[in-house]
């Protein structure tokens, strides 16, 4: 049904022995949207994807994907989705075209339809010239595009992309982003996990910030940024003693700290009056602050404020 969410999960829990990986995750993903699960390695992103794609049972909670229950209707879920993991699942000894034709045949397409679908996807992903070459000669970005093409053979309703641009160079990452944007125009729902703040900011219609197996915030990028303030004031101290004094005066309001650069960050609304008031409060003698800069808030600020660390911090076993 068009009004039914593409993905709906309530109270998902998962533990490995005494280690809790998911502690009650609730998610709702609208059809035809890009939903990003943003968090550091070990936060529970991949475990969530494995549960939603029927590869792993949850210890507690319920989930429906494409209208089907992931526990009771596994086969229907699997016919409705595609999963692209962190590692490409293509044969490097075959050509790009051979890989796609093979995948189409595995999806039970007749030989002619399989060849036609492979040609269609090679053109869509700008791989026509490379289609006759062995995949072993492809760049990382080309392999990822071919992997995404293979995931579309059966025209899935929902595509799970688990950190699809990990290890790619900036140009290849941009190419993958363009592909993802194009997929949503066709009505496909994308569930994207990432630890790249820029990626979530650029692609996602909605973002859920996950940390320690729990959703700590959810909304659009603009809504999340508004939670921590519209802007950030960076203060550069004149020396280490001044840095310590500024940190003491700011206390728990410190939103970021780089001692090696003598820099502290604090949230502000960006208005001149508020900035002046902050400077007068933390540096009344006007001798501690060497210079200051006002920036628009970023998702990095959001994550740091909500969790106390950046997305690069690994708190649990990587890959869960």
Per-residue pLDDT of the chain (320 residues), as tens digits, is 567 899 999 999 999 988 999 999 999 999 999 999 988 778 888 899 999 999 999 999 999 999 999 999 999 999 999 888 766 678 889 999 999 999 899 888 999 999 999 998 999 888 999 999 999 999 888 888 898 888 888 888 999 988 888 777 888 888 888 888 888 887 889 999 887 878 888 899 999 988 889 998 898 888 887 766 567 789 999 999 999 999 999 998 887 788 999 999 887 877 889 899 999 999 999 999 999 998 776 667 677 666 665 555 443 343 45
CA distance 107 to 154: 7
Other beta carbons within 10 angstroms of residue 277's beta carbon come to 12
CA dist 57 → 75, 109, 125, 211 (Å): 14, 30, 34, 21
**For the chain, which domains are there?**
7-225 (3.40.50.300), 230-296 (3.30.70.100)
Q: Please give the pLDDT value at position 21.
A: 92
Q: Please give the pLDDT value at position 320.
A: 55
Q: Please give the pLDDT value at position 122.
A: 92
Q: Please give the pLDDT value at position 159.
A: 92
Other beta carbons within 10 angstroms of residue 261's beta carbon come to 11
Task: Evaluate whether 205 touches 188 at the Cβ level (below 8 Å).
Answer: no
Q: Please give the pLDDT value at position 117.
A: 92
Q: Is 247 buried (19+), middle (13-18) or exposed (0-12) by CB count in 10 A?
A: middle
| Phi-psi map region of 304: left, alpha, beta (phi>0 left; psi -120 to 50 alpha) | alpha
Nearest by Cα to 121 from 183, 203, 66? 183
Q: Please give the pLDDT value at position 314.
A: 40
Q: What is the DSSP string of 87-111?
A: S----TTSBHHHHHHHHHHHTT--H
Q: Please give the pLDDT value at position 233.
A: 87
Nearest by Cα to 279 from 301, 253, 246, 252? 246
Q: Please give the pLDDT value at position 118.
A: 93
Residue 309: DSSP 8-state: S
CA distance 159 to 139: 23
Instruction: Dig out the tokens for 58 from the structure.
Output: 């949850």
Cite the DSSP H helix spans in 125-220: 140-151, 170-185, 197-203
């Amino acid at each position: 049904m068009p009004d039914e969410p593409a993905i709906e999960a309530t109270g998902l829990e998962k533990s490995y022995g005494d280690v809790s990986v998911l502690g009650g995750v609730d998610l709702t993903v609208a059809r035809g949207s890009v939903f990003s699960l943003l968090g550091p390695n070990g936060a529970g992103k991949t475990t969530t994807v494995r549960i939603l794609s029927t590869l792993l049972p949850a210890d507690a909670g319920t989930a429906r994907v494409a209208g089907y229950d992931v526990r009771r209707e596994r086969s229907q879920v699997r016919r409705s989705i595609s999963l692209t993991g962190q590692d490409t699942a293509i044969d490097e000894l075959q050509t790009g075209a051979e890989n796609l034709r093979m995948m189409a045949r595995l999806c039970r397409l007749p030989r002619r339809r399989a060849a036609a679908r492979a040609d269609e996807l090679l053109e869509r992903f700008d791989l026509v010239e490379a289609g006759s070459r062995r995949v072993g000669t492809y760049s990382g970005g080309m392999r990822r595009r071919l992997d995404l093409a293979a995931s579309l053979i059966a025209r899935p309703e929902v595509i799970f992309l688990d950190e699809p641009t990990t290890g790619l160079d900036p140009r290849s990452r941009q190419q993958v982003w363009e592909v993802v944007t194009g997929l949503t125009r066709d009505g496909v729902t994308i569930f994207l996990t990432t630890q790249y703040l820029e990626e979530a900011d650029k692609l996602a219609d909605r973002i859920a910030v996950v940390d320690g197996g729990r959703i700590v915030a959810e909304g659009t990028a603009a809504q999340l940024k508004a939670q921590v303030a519209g802007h950030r004031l960076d203060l550069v101290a004149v020396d280490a003693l001044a840095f310590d004094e500024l940190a003491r005066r700011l206390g728990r309001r410190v939103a970021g700290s780089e001692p090696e650069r003598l820099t502290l960050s604090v949230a502000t609304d960006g208005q001149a009056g508020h900035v002046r008031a902050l400077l007068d409060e933390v540096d009344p003698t006007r001798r501690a602050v060497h210079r200051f800069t006002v920036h628009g808030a970023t998702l990095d600020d959001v994550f740091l404020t909500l969790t106390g660390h950046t997305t690069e911090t690994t708190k649990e076993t990587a890959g869960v």
